[in-house]
Amino acid sequence: MKTKIFLSSMVIMGTLALFSSCSEGIAGTEEVVSADLKSGTIPATCILTGTIADAPIPACTITGTVTETEIAGLLFMREEEKMARDVYAYLYDKYKLPVFKNITKSENAHMSAVLRLITGFNIADNSTNNPGEYTDTHLTELYNQLITMGNLSVVDALKVGVLIEQTDIADLQKELLSVENTSVKTVYGNLLKGSEAHLKAFTWNLKVRGVVL
Protein backbone atom coordinates (compact mmCIF):
# COMPACT_ATOMS: atom_id res chain seq x y z
CA MET A 1 0.00 0.00 0.00
CA LYS A 2 2.79 2.39 0.93
CA THR A 3 4.56 1.64 -2.37
CA LYS A 4 1.38 2.34 -4.32
CA ILE A 5 0.99 5.73 -2.61
CA PHE A 6 4.52 6.71 -3.60
CA LEU A 7 4.31 5.48 -7.18
CA SER A 8 0.93 7.09 -7.80
CA SER A 9 2.19 10.40 -6.44
CA MET A 10 5.30 10.21 -8.59
CA VAL A 11 3.23 9.74 -11.74
CA ILE A 12 1.03 12.73 -10.88
CA MET A 13 3.89 15.02 -9.93
CA GLY A 14 5.95 13.97 -12.91
CA THR A 15 3.46 15.76 -15.15
CA LEU A 16 4.03 19.15 -13.53
CA ALA A 17 6.09 21.77 -15.35
CA LEU A 18 9.65 22.31 -14.15
CA PHE A 19 10.91 25.74 -13.08
CA SER A 20 14.22 26.52 -11.38
CA SER A 21 15.05 30.22 -11.35
CA CYS A 22 15.99 31.00 -7.75
CA SER A 23 19.30 30.84 -5.94
CA GLU A 24 20.19 28.05 -3.51
CA GLY A 25 20.09 30.26 -0.43
CA ILE A 26 16.39 30.97 -0.04
CA ALA A 27 15.09 32.99 2.88
CA GLY A 28 12.39 31.32 4.88
CA THR A 29 13.61 27.75 4.77
CA GLU A 30 15.46 28.01 8.06
CA GLU A 31 12.44 29.53 9.78
CA VAL A 32 10.08 26.78 8.65
CA VAL A 33 12.38 23.91 9.54
CA SER A 34 13.44 25.47 12.83
CA ALA A 35 9.90 24.90 14.08
CA ASP A 36 10.77 21.21 14.02
CA LEU A 37 14.26 21.46 15.45
CA LYS A 38 14.46 24.42 17.80
CA SER A 39 11.33 26.34 18.71
CA GLY A 40 9.47 23.50 20.40
CA THR A 41 6.61 23.36 17.91
CA ILE A 42 7.49 19.70 17.59
CA PRO A 43 7.89 18.32 21.14
CA ALA A 44 11.08 16.30 21.51
CA THR A 45 9.43 13.55 23.51
CA CYS A 46 11.06 10.14 23.50
CA ILE A 47 14.17 11.24 21.63
CA LEU A 48 17.57 10.05 22.85
CA THR A 49 19.14 12.42 25.34
CA GLY A 50 21.56 14.80 23.64
CA THR A 51 21.37 17.77 21.32
CA ILE A 52 19.96 18.30 17.86
CA ALA A 53 20.86 21.59 16.16
CA ASP A 54 21.95 23.03 19.53
CA ALA A 55 18.54 22.34 21.10
CA PRO A 56 18.40 20.20 24.28
CA ILE A 57 16.56 16.93 23.75
CA PRO A 58 14.90 15.41 26.84
CA ALA A 59 14.50 11.70 27.37
CA CYS A 60 11.12 10.15 28.15
CA THR A 61 9.56 7.36 30.14
CA ILE A 62 8.53 4.33 28.10
CA THR A 63 5.57 2.54 29.58
CA GLY A 64 3.28 -0.39 28.86
CA THR A 65 3.69 -3.16 26.32
CA VAL A 66 3.41 -3.32 22.54
CA THR A 67 1.54 -5.70 20.27
CA GLU A 68 3.06 -7.55 17.33
CA THR A 69 1.36 -5.06 15.01
CA GLU A 70 2.90 -2.14 16.91
CA ILE A 71 6.33 -3.81 16.79
CA ALA A 72 6.08 -4.23 13.03
CA GLY A 73 5.01 -0.61 12.73
CA LEU A 74 7.97 0.64 14.78
CA LEU A 75 10.48 -1.35 12.74
CA PHE A 76 9.02 -0.09 9.49
CA MET A 77 8.77 3.51 10.70
CA ARG A 78 12.43 3.54 11.74
CA GLU A 79 13.45 2.42 8.25
CA GLU A 80 11.05 4.85 6.58
CA GLU A 81 12.55 7.73 8.56
CA LYS A 82 16.01 6.41 7.66
CA MET A 83 15.12 6.36 3.97
CA ALA A 84 14.03 9.99 4.22
CA ARG A 85 17.30 10.89 5.92
CA ASP A 86 19.36 8.99 3.35
CA VAL A 87 17.62 10.66 0.41
CA TYR A 88 17.88 14.16 1.91
CA ALA A 89 21.55 13.69 2.77
CA TYR A 90 22.24 12.65 -0.83
CA LEU A 91 20.29 15.59 -2.24
CA TYR A 92 22.06 18.05 0.05
CA ASP A 93 25.44 16.77 -1.14
CA LYS A 94 24.28 17.27 -4.73
CA TYR A 95 22.53 20.66 -4.51
CA LYS A 96 23.70 22.21 -1.20
CA LEU A 97 20.22 23.53 -0.43
CA PRO A 98 19.85 24.37 3.30
CA VAL A 99 16.40 22.76 3.44
CA PHE A 100 17.91 19.33 2.74
CA LYS A 101 20.63 19.79 5.35
CA ASN A 102 18.21 20.94 8.05
CA ILE A 103 15.66 18.24 7.44
CA THR A 104 18.38 15.58 7.33
CA LYS A 105 19.17 16.57 10.93
CA SER A 106 15.50 16.38 11.80
CA GLU A 107 15.14 12.91 10.27
CA ASN A 108 18.07 11.78 12.40
CA ALA A 109 16.12 12.96 15.45
CA HIS A 110 13.04 11.10 14.21
CA MET A 111 15.07 7.91 13.80
CA SER A 112 16.43 8.31 17.32
CA ALA A 113 12.93 8.74 18.71
CA VAL A 114 11.75 5.49 17.15
CA LEU A 115 14.96 3.70 18.11
CA ARG A 116 14.46 4.66 21.74
CA LEU A 117 11.07 2.96 21.65
CA ILE A 118 12.52 -0.10 19.92
CA THR A 119 15.27 -0.34 22.53
CA GLY A 120 12.95 0.45 25.43
CA PHE A 121 10.57 -2.35 24.47
CA ASN A 122 13.48 -4.79 23.93
CA ILE A 123 12.76 -5.16 20.23
CA ALA A 124 15.59 -6.36 17.96
CA ASP A 125 16.53 -3.47 15.66
CA ASN A 126 16.90 -4.93 12.18
CA SER A 127 18.05 -1.75 10.44
CA THR A 128 21.55 -0.78 9.27
CA ASN A 129 23.18 2.63 9.06
CA ASN A 130 24.26 2.15 5.44
CA PRO A 131 22.57 4.64 3.07
CA GLY A 132 20.13 2.97 0.70
CA GLU A 133 20.03 -0.35 2.57
CA TYR A 134 16.77 -1.46 4.19
CA THR A 135 15.26 -4.67 5.44
CA ASP A 136 12.03 -3.74 3.66
CA THR A 137 12.69 -4.31 -0.05
CA HIS A 138 9.97 -1.82 -1.03
CA LEU A 139 11.91 0.94 0.73
CA THR A 140 15.05 -0.04 -1.18
CA GLU A 141 13.13 0.26 -4.45
CA LEU A 142 11.67 3.61 -3.41
CA TYR A 143 15.08 4.95 -2.39
CA ASN A 144 16.50 4.14 -5.83
CA GLN A 145 13.49 5.65 -7.60
CA LEU A 146 13.63 8.83 -5.55
CA ILE A 147 17.37 9.27 -6.04
CA THR A 148 16.86 8.91 -9.80
CA MET A 149 14.09 11.51 -9.73
CA GLY A 150 16.06 13.86 -7.50
CA ASN A 151 19.05 13.76 -9.84
CA LEU A 152 17.03 15.40 -12.64
CA SER A 153 16.97 18.93 -11.23
CA VAL A 154 16.68 21.01 -8.07
CA VAL A 155 12.93 21.27 -8.59
CA ASP A 156 12.60 17.50 -8.97
CA ALA A 157 14.65 17.08 -5.80
CA LEU A 158 12.25 19.33 -3.90
CA LYS A 159 9.32 17.37 -5.30
CA VAL A 160 10.97 14.25 -3.91
CA GLY A 161 10.85 15.93 -0.52
CA VAL A 162 7.14 16.58 -0.96
CA LEU A 163 6.52 12.96 -1.92
CA ILE A 164 8.43 11.62 1.06
CA GLU A 165 6.67 13.85 3.56
CA GLN A 166 3.21 13.22 2.08
CA THR A 167 3.82 9.50 2.37
CA ASP A 168 5.21 9.79 5.91
CA ILE A 169 2.13 11.76 6.92
CA ALA A 170 -0.21 9.16 5.40
CA ASP A 171 1.65 6.28 7.05
CA LEU A 172 1.76 7.95 10.47
CA GLN A 173 -1.93 8.84 10.31
CA LYS A 174 -2.70 5.22 9.48
CA GLU A 175 -0.55 3.94 12.35
CA LEU A 176 -2.17 6.32 14.82
CA LEU A 177 -5.56 4.81 14.06
CA SER A 178 -4.51 1.43 15.46
CA VAL A 179 -1.75 2.16 17.99
CA GLU A 180 -2.81 1.73 21.63
CA ASN A 181 0.48 2.16 23.53
CA THR A 182 0.69 5.69 24.90
CA SER A 183 4.44 6.11 24.37
CA VAL A 184 4.24 4.98 20.75
CA LYS A 185 1.23 7.18 20.13
CA THR A 186 3.04 10.21 21.56
CA VAL A 187 6.11 9.68 19.38
CA TYR A 188 4.05 9.12 16.24
CA GLY A 189 2.10 12.29 16.97
CA ASN A 190 5.34 14.25 17.24
CA LEU A 191 6.73 12.73 14.06
CA LEU A 192 3.52 13.66 12.26
CA LYS A 193 3.92 17.30 13.27
CA GLY A 194 7.53 17.16 12.11
CA SER A 195 6.56 15.79 8.71
CA GLU A 196 3.92 18.49 8.33
CA ALA A 197 6.57 21.15 9.03
CA HIS A 198 8.93 19.53 6.49
CA LEU A 199 6.18 19.44 3.87
CA LYS A 200 5.61 23.17 4.34
CA ALA A 201 9.33 23.82 3.90
CA PHE A 202 9.55 21.88 0.63
CA THR A 203 6.31 23.40 -0.67
CA TRP A 204 7.62 26.88 0.10
CA ASN A 205 10.90 26.19 -1.69
CA LEU A 206 8.97 25.06 -4.76
CA LYS A 207 6.63 28.07 -4.63
CA VAL A 208 9.49 30.58 -4.76
CA ARG A 209 10.70 28.75 -7.86
CA GLY A 210 7.35 29.20 -9.54
CA VAL A 211 6.01 25.73 -8.85
CA VAL A 212 2.70 25.53 -7.01
CA LEU A 213 1.49 22.00 -6.27
Cβ atoms of 152 and 175 closer than 8 Å = no
pLDDT at site 213: 84
**Residue 16, SS3 per DSSP:** coil
- Residue of 69, 152, 161 whose CA lies nearest to 106: 161
Predicted local confidence at residue 63, as pLDDT: 86
**What was the pLDDT predicted at 129?**
87
With CA atoms as reference, report the closest residue to 201 among 81, 33, 83, 24.
33
Question: Domains plus CATH for the chain?
Answer: 2-10+27-207 (1.20.1260.10)
For residues 58 and 119, give the distance between their C-alpha atoms in angstroms, rounded to a whole number: 16
* Residues forming beta bridges with residue 50, ordered by sequence position: 57
pLDDT (tens, 9 = 90+) of the chain, 213 residues, equals 454 444 444 433 433 322 222 223 333 333 344 444 333 333 444 443 333 333 333 445 788 999 999 999 999 999 999 999 999 999 999 999 999 999 999 999 999 999 999 999 999 998 888 999 999 999 999 999 999 999 999 999 999 999 999 999 999 999 999 999 999 999 999 999 999 999 999 999 999 999 998
pTM of the model: 0.76
Provide the pLDDT for residue 44. Answer: 42
